[in-house]
Amino acid sequence: MESVSEGREAFRAIYDREFDYVWHSLRRLGIPARDLPDVTHDVFLKLHKSLPTYDASRPFRPWLFGVLFRVASDHQHLGRNAREILDDMPIDIRDMSAGPEQRAGESEEWRIVDRALEAMDLPHRVVLVMHDFSGHSAHDVARELSIPLKTVYSRLRTARARFVLTAHQVQLRGGAA
Amino acid sequence: MSPLLRSLVDADNQRPGPSSDDRTRVYATLGVSLGLIPAGAVVAAHAASAATATQLTATAAAASGGTSTVATAVGAASAVGRLALFIKAPLMTVGVGAVLGAALTAYVVKSPAARSTATAARKAVAASVLATRTAPAAPVTAPVALPLAEAAAPAERPAAPAERPIAMRTTPVHHERVAVATEAPPLAGEQHADDVVRADGALTAEQALLDPARAALARGDGRDALAHLELHERRFPGGALAQEREAMTIRALGLVGDRSLARARASTFRARYPDSLLWPMIQATLATLATHDAALSARP
């Protein structure tokens, strides 16, 4: 049986090692900056519950990505619902919920990345983020997102094309996105 | 991969990550969510004694062991006075880590029965937070009023002092992740005593404004509740108890019959705190409003 201190150290080690990874992955999936602490929290909570089901023969990070993707999807779903409700509200109330834009101090390239990622739907976005940004293999992407390998490749092709197209457009417009 | 995509991915990888403050706060909040750290204990951490790390481990170990896990963990979570002493702010990363580690062990390594610990402990947390807030510097020997904890584990603790519990039973809200996120004192570097006192003072002041509002709600006086709640909103718009205030405001608005504003604020609340633990309570308020609407429209 694992000792208390081993369990403690294990979770702490995972947290320390993966915190930045979770944070950046969520950001790339479209979680707004103001919600990143909350959603990161939810991911580790979920991770905590899901760890017993983790198959240690699989690489950890792709599996973790699967966990955080499911949490992020839930969050975005909720976000959309909330926005639909908010659309019916007087402007002043709507504004109360709008956080400050987190653009200040960010480089032009980061802004382009954000715009290009925003321009695609979640199924394409997640494949691009997982494969090209996080560097996971197509096989890992397929397994952790539970989609066929062929689908991974076709989504990746489409996602890359869209990403580059939007990036060019944003560059050409010189920031007037 | 196209060169443009490659260079943008590289640029994105250079982006600054979360601050160490983010890291620490999320970890502390996680401990609260898992039910092993009362949020109030984190806030009231100034009373800490550095010699207690081993005690903490002992308490945590007790929480994770044996078949009486649920009762023990509730006891551990509810022993706010002691935990408040354990988690010294400068050592918070270490202290919280120790508690959370035990939570993990109880939660992941141990049996499914142990997992219900977290649920039971969460109930205790809601109560203990309030208790701690009103007596943030509670000495280690002081009895801590924990009516909800006792409801969760009736056989566990002796009767608590009567003054607070009565007020707390009328408490219309629970909160677990509230205090840590906004009120946890800064952790990087040296923790100055006066910083903590300030944080504590603010929390006590917030609580002092919300207490009469809570009492007013309990006796069905929405107007009086709103007066106190508005005061809180003016003084602490983003305070540690903002979620609690919003939930109470929605209820108060319902009581005074301003149902459309109540709904609007509920929607704003939902958007701002999408996974708030107070949401089910607000939903209950909204359901009551819907009943009123139905009654009105049924009138001849």
Most confident of A129-143, B66-80, B107-121, B249-263: A129-143
Domain identity same for A22 and A90: yes
Q: What is the CATH number of the domain that holds A175?
A: 1.10.10.10
Residue A125 vs residue B293, higher pLDDT? A125
A141 close to A131: Cβ distance less than 8 angstroms: yes
* Closest residue of chain B to A112, computed from CA coordinates: B8
Domain-terminating residue out of A102, A125, A142: A102
Separation CA B77–CA B39 (nearest Å) = 10
Number of domains in chain A: 2
* Closest residue of chain A to B17, computed from CA coordinates: A20
Full domain range(s) for residue A97:
1-102
pLDDT of residue A147: 94
Q: Do B26 and A19 touch (CB under 8 A)?
A: yes
B49 close to B62: Cβ distance less than 8 angstroms: no
Which runs of consecutive H residues, i.e. helices, occur in B14-136?
20-33, 39-43, 53-64, 69-78, 80-86, 92-104, 112-134
Q: Which residues from A are below 8 Å from B246, CB to CB?
A: none
Domain identity same for A76 and A147: no
To the nearest whole angstrom, how far is the Cα of B38 from the nearest Cα of chain A? 16
Domain identity same for A147 and A133: yes
A11 touches chain B (CB under 8 A): yes
What is the per-residue pLDDT across B236-287, written as a single tens digit (0 to 9) for each? 888 888 888 999 999 999 989 888 899 999 999 988 888 777 787 788 888 8
Q: Do A79 and B274 touch (CB under 8 A)?
A: yes
pLDDT band per the 50, 70, 90 thresholds, residue A42: very high
pLDDT of residue A112: 92
Q: What is the mean pLDDT of residues A46-70?
A: 90
pLDDT tops 50 at residue B163:
no
A147 touches chain B (CB under 8 A): no
What ipTM does the predicted assembly reach?
A: 0.80
Nearest in space to A124 (alpha carbons), one of A145, A155, A146: A155
Q: What is the CATH number of the domain that holds A75?
A: 1.10.1740.10
Q: Do A109 and B8 touch (CB under 8 A)?
A: yes
Nearest in space to B167 (alpha carbons), one of B214, B126, B205, B225: B214
Domain-terminating residue out of A102, A133, A160: A102
pLDDT of residue B35: 58
To the nearest whole angstrom, how far is the Cα of B148 from the nearest Cα of chain A? 24
pLDDT of residue A24: 95
Q: Do B22 and A24 touch (CB under 8 A)?
A: no
**SS3 at position B220:** coil
Domain spans of chain B, in order of start: 17-141, 192-297
Separation CA B291–CA B185 (nearest Å) = 43
Nearest in space to B59 (alpha carbons), one of B42, B70, B75: B75
Domain B192-297 = CATH 3.30.365.10: no
What is the per-residue pLDDT across A143-164, written as a single tens digit (0 to 9) for each? 999 999 999 999 999 999 999 9
Domain-terminating residue out of A81, A102, A123: A102
**SS3 at position B249:** helix
Angle between helices B279-297 and B259-272 (to 10 degrees): 150
H, E, C per residue of A69-95: HHHHHHHHHHHHHHHHHHCCCCHHHHH
pLDDT of residue B265: 92
pLDDT tops 50 at residue A116:
yes
Domain identity same for A96 and A115: no
pLDDT tops 50 at residue B122:
no
Q: Do A109 and B109 touch (CB under 8 A)?
A: no
Nearest in space to A33 (alpha carbons), one of A107, A127, A114, A123: A114
Domain identity same for A23 and A94: yes
Q: Which two tokens stand for residue A152?
A: 């991974």
pLDDT of residue A8: 65
What is the per-residue pLDDT across B20-57, written as a single tens digit (0 to 9) for each? 888 888 888 887 776 555 555 444 433 333 333 334 43
pLDDT of residue B220: 86
Domain identity same for A87 and A148: no
∠ CA B216-B218-B223, nearest 5°, is 35
A170 close to A116: Cβ distance less than 8 angstroms: yes
pLDDT tops 50 at residue B11:
yes
pLDDT of residue B290: 82
To the nearest whole angstrom, how far is the Cα of B125 from the nearest Cα of chain A? 17
Q: Do A8 and B104 touch (CB under 8 A)?
A: yes
pLDDT of residue B38: 52
Best mutation site among A18, A31, A48, A168 for testing chain B: the one with the most B CBs within 10 Å?
A48
Any idea of the CA torsion for B210, B213, B215, B220, to the nearest 10 degrees? -150
Domain identity same for A134 and A167: yes
Residue B5 vs residue B110, higher pLDDT? B5
Q: Which residues from B are below 8 Å from A38, CB to CB?
A: 274-275
pLDDT tops 60 at residue A168:
yes
pLDDT of residue A3: 56
Q: Do B61 and A42 touch (CB under 8 A)?
A: no
